[in-house]
């Protein structure tokens, strides 16, 4: 079993990741600024209140662990989500490298996936205007920072264009895996439940198949 640090454990994706990790018997140190928000009780779960964007604090908590799984998000309602993502995600990366942890698995976005050669989803004009600051900032972090990062074994897992309708769904354990192109079904829909997204992420944690690269999953 793995001993991991989970950032963003109380969010929509983070909660699914936490449930999947614990259901498989992994040991989890969940980072939260408010420990009371983590209501799950499990002998393999330790909740700590630190600022995950403080490299020194993150490094101290993650030292000796097998991996960091990050579902960090400054908050979709945050009017400064674009600036905060680009300011603070590099600090999480810095903390991960300082800790000596061998792997960093990041909850990515679908925005940088290609819908056709040369055209990324975030540049199609099809996404709601309110989403763009969050989508583009995470995309820029991936394209401009992660893709140039060689000092830690990172993974950026992009979901389908529609991640569970932002609601609890069904865990099937069955999905397709791709790399840089948006996956769509026979109806042209791009969808995966947050539960199956979590399955894909923890599968990668347990059996690494991707190194210093992005991959994507969808039905």
How confident is the chain (219 residues) per 10-residue block, as mean pLDDT? 96 96 98 86 96 97 98 94 97 98 98 97 94 96 98 98 93 98 96 98 98 98
**Number of other residues whose CB lies within 10 A of the CB of residue 66:** 16
Q: What is the 3-state secondary structure (H, E, C) of the chain?
A: CCEEEEECCCCHHHHHHHHHHHHCCCEEEEECCCHHHCCCCCCCEEEECCCCCCHHHHHHHHCCCCEEEECCCCCCCCCCHHHHHHHHHHHHHHHHHHHCCCEEEEECCCCCCEEECCEEHHHCCCCCHHHHHHHHHHHHHHHHHHHHCCCCEEEEEECCCEEHHHCCCCCCCCCEEECCECCCCCCCCCEECHHHHHHHHHHHHHCCCCCCEEEEEEC
Instruction: List CB contacts of 194: < 8 A, sequence separation 6 or more.
Output: 12, 13, 16, 163, 164, 168, 169
Q: How far apart are CA 41 and CA 170, in angstroms?
A: 22
Tell the residue number behind the tokens 């999953």, with chain if given.
217
pLDDT at site 166: 85
What is the rounded distance in angstroms from the CA atom of residue 58 to the CA atom of residue 138?
A: 20
Q: What is the pTM of this model?
A: 0.96
**Which pLDDT score, from 0 to 100, does residue 133 have?**
96
Give the number of other CB atoms < 10 A from CB of residue 22. 18
**Model pLDDT, residue 36:** 87
- Residue pointed to by tokens 């630190």: 50
Distance separating alpha carbons of residues 121 and 108, to the nearest angstrom: 13
Contact in structure between 27 and 4 (CB atoms under 8 Å) = yes
Separation between Cα atoms, residue 191 and residue 189, nearest integer Å: 6
**pLDDT for the residue numbered 45:** 98
pLDDT of residue 32: 84
| Residue (of 12, 100, 98, 92) closest to 52 by Cα position | 92
In which residue are the tokens 């979590």 written?
198
């Amino acid at each position: 079993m793995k001993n991991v640090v989970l950032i963003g454990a109380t969010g929509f994706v983070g909660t699914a990741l936490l449930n999947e990790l614990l259901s498989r018997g992994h040991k989890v140190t969940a980072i939260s600024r408010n420990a009371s928000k983590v209501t799950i009780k499990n002998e393999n779960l330790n909740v700590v209140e630190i600022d995950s964007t403080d490299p020194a604090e993150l490094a101290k908590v993650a030292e000796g662990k097998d991996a960091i799984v990050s579902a960090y998000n400054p908050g979709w309602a945050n009017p400064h989500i674009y600036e905060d993502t680009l300011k603070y995600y590099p600090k999480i990366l810095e903390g991960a490298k300082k800790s000596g942890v061998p792997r960093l698995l990041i909850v990515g976005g679908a925005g940088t996936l290609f819908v056709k050669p040369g055209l990324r989803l975030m540049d199609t004009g099809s996404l709601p205007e309110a989403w763009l600051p969050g989508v583009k900032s995470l995309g820029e972090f991936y394209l401009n920072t992660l893709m140039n990062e060689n000092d830690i074994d990172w993974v950026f897992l992009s979901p389908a264009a529609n991640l569970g309708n932002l609601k609890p769904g069904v865990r099937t354990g069955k999905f397709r895996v791709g790399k840089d192109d948006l996956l769509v079904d026979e109806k042209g829909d791009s969808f995966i439940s947050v539960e199956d997204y979590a399955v894909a992420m923890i599968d990668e944690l347990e059996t690494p198949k991707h190194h210093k690269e992005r991959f994507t999953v969808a039905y």
